[in-house]
Chain A
């Protein structure tokens, strides 16, 4: 199993988890809050989109997220809630799907060079090489994907589904 196949497998797991989280969920549901200081689904999806862009930029591909969106969803940004400025859920979904498709194509093209030094002007840069950068960002992404599970549960409860 090559490096590209490992990254592809991990990204596919993440994307599958992301898609499962918002399946049947409306924009308003994506703003629901859990007890405590957790972020809502909308913030997490926007945050994932910002970090997906940092993967795209590292491999030299077109990015999707604006600086306004980086401010909204970047690390340390304000929580998103009812009445906050935020992107529509559908927009976030499109950005994540498009980014995933491009990264996956790059991984499958057999020309991926993971030892290449990653650009120094990335929104977030982890490690020196593209391989290290991707490993860190894929792991970061997966942990946020895990956070989406509880938010989906609360949305289902709100919709009168899934509660036992």
Chain B
């Protein structure tokens, strides 16, 4: 087993769980809020996509997100509610798919690339990890972070399904 195998297993599980959580949800259902200060599905998807985009940049691959899109979903950014300016849910879903595909392809074909230092230098890319000395550490931190946000989608899906009754 190599480092990349751990990341591939977890990323695949994250992606499967994420897609299950948003399957069939409408654009409006992605703005529903649970009691308290949790974020809506739109924010969580954008947040995950931003961090994946950062992993792509740090691995020397192309970014898909614009700086203003990334900033909207940064850690500590304002909550997003229906009617707020935000990235369309369809685009977020597309970003989730394409970043997953690129990261999986990179992991399958990397030749000790994980031992290299992150190469991204976009200060406005929140997934850029200047504090990590290797991509391995950056991937470990980001993929672990992603899994927890994926879990947050499940109660939001339940809320959406309940509201349909």
A residues near B (Cβ < 8 Å) are 1, 3, 6-7, 9-10, 13-14, 17, 34-38, 114-115, 127, 129, 131-132, 135-136, 138-140, 142-154, 156-157, 162-164
Mostly helix, strand, loop or mixed at chain B's interface?
helix
Nearest-Cβ distance from residue B123 to partner chain A, whole angstroms:
25
Decide yes or no: A143 and B147 within 8 Å by CB, A136-B9, A138-B10, A153-B38 being known contacts: yes
With the chains together, A118 CA to B139 CA distance in Å? 26
With the chains together, A138 CA to B140 CA distance in Å? 12
With the chains together, A152 CA to B6 CA distance in Å? 29
Taking CB atoms, residues of chain B closer than 8 Å to A144 are 151
> How big is the B interface, by class?
35 or more
Report the nearest A residue to B161, measured CB to CB.
A36
Taking CB atoms, residues of chain B closer than 8 Å to A143 are 13-14, 17, 147-148, 150-151, 154
Taking CB atoms, residues of chain A closer than 8 Å to B148 are 13-14, 17, 142-143, 145-146, 149
B81 in contact (CB, < 8 A): no
Mostly helix, strand, loop or mixed at chain A's interface?
helix
Q: Mark contacts of B122-159 with chain A using CB atoms, 8 A cut-off: 1 yes-contact digit, 0 otherwise.
A: 00000000000010110011011101111111111111
Check A132–B38 contact: CB distance below 8 A. Answer: no
Instruction: Identify A132's interface contact among B1, B37, B152, B159, CB under 8 A.
Output: B1
With the chains together, A83 CA to B134 CA distance in Å? 50
Instruction: Identify B37's interface contact among A3, A34, A35, A162, CB under 8 A.
Output: A162
With the chains together, A163 CA to B148 CA distance in Å? 22
Residues in B70-106 with C-beta less than 8 Å from chain A: none
Check B140–A34 contact: CB distance below 8 A. Answer: no
Instruction: Identify B9's interface contact among A3, A132, A146, A152, CB under 8 A.
Output: A132
Nearest-Cβ distance from residue B120 to partner chain A, whole angstroms:
18
With the chains together, A162 CA to B34 CA distance in Å? 13
Check B158–A34 contact: CB distance below 8 A. Answer: yes
Taking CB atoms, residues of chain B closer than 8 Å to A135 are 5-6, 9-10
Check B162–A35 contact: CB distance below 8 A. Answer: yes
Decide yes or no: A9 and B140 within 8 Å by CB, A3-B6, A135-B5, A146-B149 being known contacts: yes
With the chains together, A135 CA to B9 CA distance in Å? 7
Check A153–B140 contact: CB distance below 8 A. Answer: no
Check A6–B36 contact: CB distance below 8 A. Answer: no
Question: Could you name 25 residue pairs across A and B whose Cβ atoms are closer than 8 Å?
Answer: A1-B136, A1-B140, A3-B3, A9-B137, A9-B141, A10-B144, A13-B148, A36-B155, A36-B161, A38-B154, A132-B1, A135-B6, A136-B13, A140-B13, A142-B10, A143-B13, A143-B17, A143-B148, A143-B150, A145-B148, A148-B151, A150-B38, A150-B156, A153-B37, A154-B34
